[in-house]
C-alpha cells in the first residue's frame, strides 16, 4: 500500500497564546481553509516560528506538497519534527513516513518505528497500520508477529481496509497467534465490504474451500466477481475456472474465455495457458490457432510447463509463416506489457 502524508490542515491554539500569534494562527487557518496557499505561507510561517504546533504542522504540509512554496522535503521534515515534539499526531506520522521513505532525511527504519509508534499510540490509524507492517517485516525493529497483529487490529478496528486484510492473513496463516479461519473470514469480509480487491479475492477463496465458513461456490463466485471487476488477476482467473467448470454458476465457455483473457492480459501465466487451450479447441470462441500459439508461447515463457506441450502440438498444425506471425504477436504483447 502506498504510504500517504497526513495532510488535513490543523489548528491547535495554545492556552496562553499572544495576540500576535493568535492573529497569525487564525489567518493561517482561514487562508488554508480557502485554499489560498500562497497567501497562507506568511502567517503560517510567522505562527510556526513563534512555536505554534498546528502551524508548524501546516507549514510542513505546504513544503511537503509544494503548495504556496517550492516543494522542499528537508524543510517539511524540520517543521514536522517541531510539531511532532509538541505532540501533533499527524506530524508524528509524517515524520515516521519521511524516515521510512528517506524523504528529507536519510532512510532510518528505527526512526520510522519510533515516530509511527508515537502517532499510533495517539490513535492514528495509518500509523498503526504502518507500524504493524514494520513489525511484520522486521523493518527497523526485530520481527514480531504478535506485535504486528496487535497494531493491525487497532487499525482494523478503526476501519482501515489494508489492516483488516493483513489481520485476516495473519489469522489465516496462524502468524502471531493460533490459526483461526473464522477470524480470517471476519476481517476479510470487513475489508471486502470496503472494496478491497485482495480481501474480496481471499473471501472468495474461503468460500470455495470451505475454510472458516460453509463451502459455498455461489458465494465464492460473488466475491471473485467483485475482485475481478476491480482488476484482481487471480480472481479473474478463478472466475474463469468457475465458469469453465460450472461451479457456483452455470457453465459458460464464453464467460470463461472473457475472464481468462482479462487475467491473461495482466500476465497471469495459467490464464494465458487456459486461453491458449480454448482458442486451440474452439471453446467459447471460434478456433484460432495463431491466437492460441501466441498465448501458450507467452505462458511457456513464464515457465508454465503444460504450455510447452501445447505449443509443440500447435507447431505441427501451423506453417512456419503462421508460427512467425504468432511469435511476432507475442513480442508485441511483451512490448506493450514491459512489467
Residue 204 to residue 180: CA distance in whole angstroms? 17
Least confident of 4-8, 225-229, 249-253, 319-323: 4-8
What average pLDDT does this structure show over 171-189? 98
Pick the residue with more confidence: 339 or 318?
A: 318
pLDDT tens profile 89-139 = 999 999 999 999 999 999 999 999 999 999 999 999 999 999 999 999 999
Helices of type H across the chain: 19-33, 37-49, 53-65, 73-85, 89-101, 109-121, 125-137, 145-156, 161-173, 181-193, 197-209, 217-229, 233-245, 253-264, 269-281, 289-301, 305-317, 320-336
Is pLDDT of 245 > 60? yes
What average pLDDT does this structure show over 78-94? 97
Domains and their CATH numbers in the chain: 1-89 (no CATH), 108-182 (1.25.40.10), 195-266 (1.25.40.10), 274-339 (no CATH)
Is pLDDT of 156 > 50? yes
Q: Are 163 and 129 in contact (CB under 8 A)?
A: yes
Q: Does the model's pTM come out above 0.85? A: yes
CB atoms < 10 A from the CB of 203, how many? 31
Grid coordinates 508515537 are at which residue?
118
pLDDT score recorded for residue 282: 97
The percentage of the chain sitting over the pLDDT mark of 90, rounded to a whole number, equals 93
pLDDT score recorded for residue 6: 58
Alpha-carbon distances, residue 66 vs 12, 37, 69, 301 (angstroms) = 22, 10, 5, 44
Is pLDDT of 13 > 50? no
Residue 171 to residue 69: CA distance in whole angstroms? 46
Max CA distance (Å), the chain: 88
Residue 29 to residue 77: CA distance in whole angstroms? 20
Alpha-carbon distances, residue 189 vs 153, 197, 220, 228, 306 (angstroms) = 14, 11, 12, 16, 35
Grid coordinates 497471469 are at which residue?
268
pLDDT-derived band at 21, boundaries 50, 70, 90? confident
What average pLDDT does this structure show over 272-285? 98
CA 328 from centroid of its chain's CA atoms: 34
pLDDT-derived band at 1, boundaries 50, 70, 90? very low
pLDDT score recorded for residue 10: 47
Amino acid at each position: 500500500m502506498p504510504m500517504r502524508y497526513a495532510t488535513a490542515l490543523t489548528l491547535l491554539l495554545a492556552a496562553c497564546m499572544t495576540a500576535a500569534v493568535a492573529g497569525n494562527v487564525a489567518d493561517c487557518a482561514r487562508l488554508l481553509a480557502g485554499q489560498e496557499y500562497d497567501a497562507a505561507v506568511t502567517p503560517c510561517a510567522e505562527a510556526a516560528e513563534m512555536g505554534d504546533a498546528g502551524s508548524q504542522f501546516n507549514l510542513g504540509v505546504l513544503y511537503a506538497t509544494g503548495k504556496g512554496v517550492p516543494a522542499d522535503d528537508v524543510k517539511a521534515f524540520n517543521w514536522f519534527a517541531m510539531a511532532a515534539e509538541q505532540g501533533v499526531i499527524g506530524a508524528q506520522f509524517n515524520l515516521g513516513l519521511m524516515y521510512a521513505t528517506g524523504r528529507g532525511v536519510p532512510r532510518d527504519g528505527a526512526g520510522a518505528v519510533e515516530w509511527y509508534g508515537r502517532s499510533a499510540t495517539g490513535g492514528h490509524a495509518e500509523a498503526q497500520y504502518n507500524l504493524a507492517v514494520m513489525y511484520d517485516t522486521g523493518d527497523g525493529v526485530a520481527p514480531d508477529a504478535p506485535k504486528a497483529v496487535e497494531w493491525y487490529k487497532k487499525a482494523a478496528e478503526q476501519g482501515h481496509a489494508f489492516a483488516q486484510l493483513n489481520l485476516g492473513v495473519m489469522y489465516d496463516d496462524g502468524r502471531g497467534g493460533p490459526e483461526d479461519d473464522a477470524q480470517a473470514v471476519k476481517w476479510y469480509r470487513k475489508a471486502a465490504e470496503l472494496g478491497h480487491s485482495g480481501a474480496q479475492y481471499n473471501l472468495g477463496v474461503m468460500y470455495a474451500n470451505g475454510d472458516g465458513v460453509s463451502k459455498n461456490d455461489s458465494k465464492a463466485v460473488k466475491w471473485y466477481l467483485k475482485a475481478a471487476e476491480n482488476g484482481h488477476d487471480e480472481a479473474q482467473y478463478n472466475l474463469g475456472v468457475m465458469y469453465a467448470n460450472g461451479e457456483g454458476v452455470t457453465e459458460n465457455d464464453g464467460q470463461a474465455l472473457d475472464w481468462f483473457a482479462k487475467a491473461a492480459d495482466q500476465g497471469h501465466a495459467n490464464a494465458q495457458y487456459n486461453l491458449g487451450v480454448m482458442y486451440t479447441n474452439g471453446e467459447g470462441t471460434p478456433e484460432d490457432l495463431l491466437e492460441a500459439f501466441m498465448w501458450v508461447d507467452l505462458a511457456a515463457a513464464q515457465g508454465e510447463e503444460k504450455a510447452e506441450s501445447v505449443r509443440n502440438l500447435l507447431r505441427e498444425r501451423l506453417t512456419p509463416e503462421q508460427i512467425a506471425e504468432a511469435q511476432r504477436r507475442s513480442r508485441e504483447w511483451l512490448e506493450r506489457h514491459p512489467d
